[in-house]
Chain A
Amino acid sequence: MAKNKLNSRIFKDRIFVSILLLIGCICALPLVLILFFIVKQGINSISLQFLTHLPKPVGEKGGGVLNAIVGSLMLISMAAVISIPIGILGGIYLSEKKGTKIANLARSSAEILQGIPSIVIGIIAYLWIVKPMGHFSALSGGIALGFMMLPVILRTTEETLNLIPNSIKEASLALGVPYYKTILRIILPCGISGIMSGIIISLARVAGETAPLLFTAFGNPYLNTNINRPVQSLPLIIFNYATSPYDDWKQQAWGASFVLLSFILIISVVAKFVTRRWRVQF
């Protein structure tokens, strides 16, 4: 009798785990479906021509997404140039001046900034840069993406530096190394893996952002390398092609998705490698 009850309880436990695992697998289904189709359809449309040519008008075969690839790279590098130095400096401040009023306020601000919907960031970049300048531009798109990267880099830098024991800093200061050199030459190199992976992860995230680019970088059917002019980007071209009624363009959208997704996956793998290779160990 008692044994039976125990068995039924154990049975219930088993059933519960199986249900959990089943639900977990169902959850992965859409992801697998999307990835599978992107690879399958993307391989078909990807060729050297796709990567090195400009889009052709509707109806003409061929054409590529070179302008979008160049535009995306421009936007991402601008975002990185803006956000990396500020993010790292701010992160150092937060971890060094823990508990001060400014640090607490800045930390909460960064947390809130991280949660702001990306479309709102797009509007802000429009109001601050596009409107005064009078035209859409790559610069405004890069700044919008930079605003999105900034809090992520700042928080990861702070979290990484918090892991580094004080004794290292104290040893360096005791040897007479000036404070700023201690930070730049001793503390930052110790935390480089965490900071790097934060940067790479935030890069991967903004690479796929579309909403902030709708009214800043705007899109451009031609190749453009001038930061004062609108540029195309991969997520924008996917959005435009995917919502278009033409089958040719939809096929192109699969190809563009494949390029974008491979880019994101590759840099995520790099981030993982970086954290594993240079983990903070004390």
Chain B
Amino acid sequence: MKIESAKQKQASDWRLGIAEKIFNSLMSNAAILMIILLSGIFITLLYSSIPSIKQSGLGFIYGRVWDPVTNQFGGLSFLVGTIITTFLALIISFPFSISLGLILGEYFKKGIVSEIFKNIIELMAGVPSVIYGFGALYFLVPAIRHIETHLGVPAYGVGILTASIVLAIMIVPYWASVAREVINLAPNDLKEASYALGATRFELIRYIILPFTRSGILAGMMLALGRALGETMAVTMVIGNNNVLPKGIFDPSNTMASVIANEFTEATSDLYLSALIEIALLLFVVSLIFNLLGRQIIKRMASR
């Protein structure tokens, strides 16, 4: 009798051990999968762009001609288009992001105003890219066309400026929420000290909070930049999709993401496909760098 129950116990112990092992291995495999996924993505992109790297070399970056028919793949116009649109977008969204960050992080931490703006930011982040693009086609493009006819430049309506404005609207929620976080991080003793010296809120912001949060706001900019670089749909819809080096901010152009979206399914030759994948590789690496930098800065601030 006793022996039997001991045996039973042994059996159930054994079963338990198996269950434990299975659970542990599932858990660690799920975590390891993340690492495999990331390295797999990088290796796949690198491997698939080898033909294009071999063919064009560095010319891929400074070449001006993008002609799939003659197998000439120079991506300079997309690089320039991406850089201009992104930076214009950052400049436009800067005042909005900082204002929202200050409103939520300093002036109205609680209460109805804060709830309203919080919801606005959440909604802005929740609206899909394609709907922003649609809205821009409907409202912004005619408005820009109107301005262009007044200025006497060719009135395309679509172009770098239009894309930048849409992008700016789309990155505001990300930048603003990072700004809010870092503004919240400003040390209370400094704030209290400045109030004790009779500072107004405006002076507190100007002399304490802004200097303290400068690097954090920069980090927010980098995270927003990483997002803006990869933003595809809205930009594709309003940038005009023109593979020529842009001469001004009203010109139609193309960004790295939008050229992939436009041409990937039409890429007939392997080399063409490989060239587009090389653009994706560049996009991946650049957005990775900005993301890591931004996160690093925020982590350093938070640990201080």
Q: Which of B144-152, B184-192, B282-290 contacts A (4 or more CB under 8 A)?
A: B282-290
Contact with A along B13-30 (1 / 0, CB 8 A): 000100110011011111
| CB atoms of B20 and A180 under 8 A apart | yes
A264 CB to nearest chain B CB (Å): 6
**Chain A residue contacts of B265, Cβ below 8 A:** 214-215, 218
- The number of chain A residues touching the other chain, given as a range, is 35 or more
B11 CB to nearest chain A CB (Å): 15
With A89-B26, A90-B33 known as contacts, the answer to whether A111 contacts B126 (CB < 8 A) is no
**Chain A residue contacts of B32, Cβ below 8 A:** 102, 106
If over half of B's interface residues share one DSSP class (helix, strand or loop), that class is named, otherwise mixed; here it is helix
A141 CB to nearest chain B CB (Å): 14
| CB atoms of A12 and B202 under 8 A apart | yes
**Chain A residue contacts of B29, Cβ below 8 A:** 89
Question: Whole-angstrom distance between the alpha carbons of A30 and B44 in the complex?
Answer: 39
Question: Whole-angstrom distance between the alpha carbons of A96 and B28 in the complex?
Answer: 10
| CB atoms of A27 and B172 under 8 A apart | yes
Scan residues 230-259 of chain A and give those whose CB is less than 8 A from a CB of chain B: 235, 238-239, 242-243, 253, 257
| CB atoms of A90 and B261 under 8 A apart | no
| CB atoms of B96 and A109 under 8 A apart | no
Contact of A174 with B by CB under 8 A: no
Contact of B88 with A by CB under 8 A: no
**Chain B residue contacts of A128, Cβ below 8 A:** 44
Scan residues 194-209 of chain B and give those whose CB is less than 8 A from a CB of chain A: 200-203, 205
**Chain A residue contacts of B230, Cβ below 8 A:** 116-120
| CB atoms of B20 and A178 under 8 A apart | yes
Contact of B137 with A by CB under 8 A: yes
Q: Which of A16-24, A47-55, A62-70 contacts B (4 or more CB under 8 A)?
A: A16-24
| CB atoms of A127 and B169 under 8 A apart | no
**Chain B residue contacts of A204, Cβ below 8 A:** 126
| CB atoms of A38 and B131 under 8 A apart | yes
| CB atoms of A154 and B34 under 8 A apart | yes
**Chain A residue contacts of B24, Cβ below 8 A:** 180
Scan residues 113-128 of chain B and give those whose CB is less than 8 A from a CB of chain A: 113, 117, 120, 122-124, 126-128
| CB atoms of B126 and A268 under 8 A apart | yes
| CB atoms of B201 and A13 under 8 A apart | yes
| CB atoms of B237 and A242 under 8 A apart | yes
Question: Whole-angstrom distance between the alpha carbons of A270 and B227 in the complex?
Answer: 26
Question: Whole-angstrom distance between the alpha carbons of A97 and B30 in the complex?
Answer: 13
B270 CB to nearest chain A CB (Å): 11
| CB atoms of B127 and A34 under 8 A apart | yes
B295 CB to nearest chain A CB (Å): 6
Contact of B264 with A by CB under 8 A: yes
Contact with B along A95-130 (1 / 0, CB 8 A): 011000011011001111101111110011011100
| CB atoms of B48 and A27 under 8 A apart | no
Contact of B129 with A by CB under 8 A: yes
**Chain A residue contacts of B295, Cβ below 8 A:** 111
| CB atoms of A210 and B130 under 8 A apart | yes
Contact of B221 with A by CB under 8 A: no
| CB atoms of B19 and A180 under 8 A apart | yes
Contact of A199 with B by CB under 8 A: no
**Chain A residue contacts of B284, Cβ below 8 A:** 116-117, 120
| CB atoms of A211 and B261 under 8 A apart | yes
Contact of B69 with A by CB under 8 A: no
With A93-B28, A117-B230, A238-B134 known as contacts, the answer to whether A261 contacts B127 (CB < 8 A) is yes
Contact with B along A146-164 (1 / 0, CB 8 A): 0100110010000000000
Partner of A123, one of B23, B123, B124, B277: B277
Residue on A with the closest CB to B294?
A: A115
**Chain B residue contacts of A111, Cβ below 8 A:** 291, 295
With A12-B202, A106-B35, A151-B34 known as contacts, the answer to whether A124 contacts B128 (CB < 8 A) is no
Contact of A94 with B by CB under 8 A: yes
Question: Whole-angstrom distance between the alpha carbons of A198 and B267 in the complex?
Answer: 37
Given A23-B100, A33-B139, A257-B134: 17 more A-B contacts, CB < 8 Å = A13-B203, A16-B202, A21-B113, A93-B27, A97-B28, A102-B35, A113-B34, A113-B38, A117-B229, A118-B232, A120-B41, A147-B37, A184-B23, A208-B130, A210-B130, A239-B133, A268-B122
Please name the 6 residue pairs, one residue from A and one from B, whose CB atoms are nearest each other, closest first. Answer: A117-B230, A208-B128, A90-B30, A180-B23, A89-B30, A115-B291
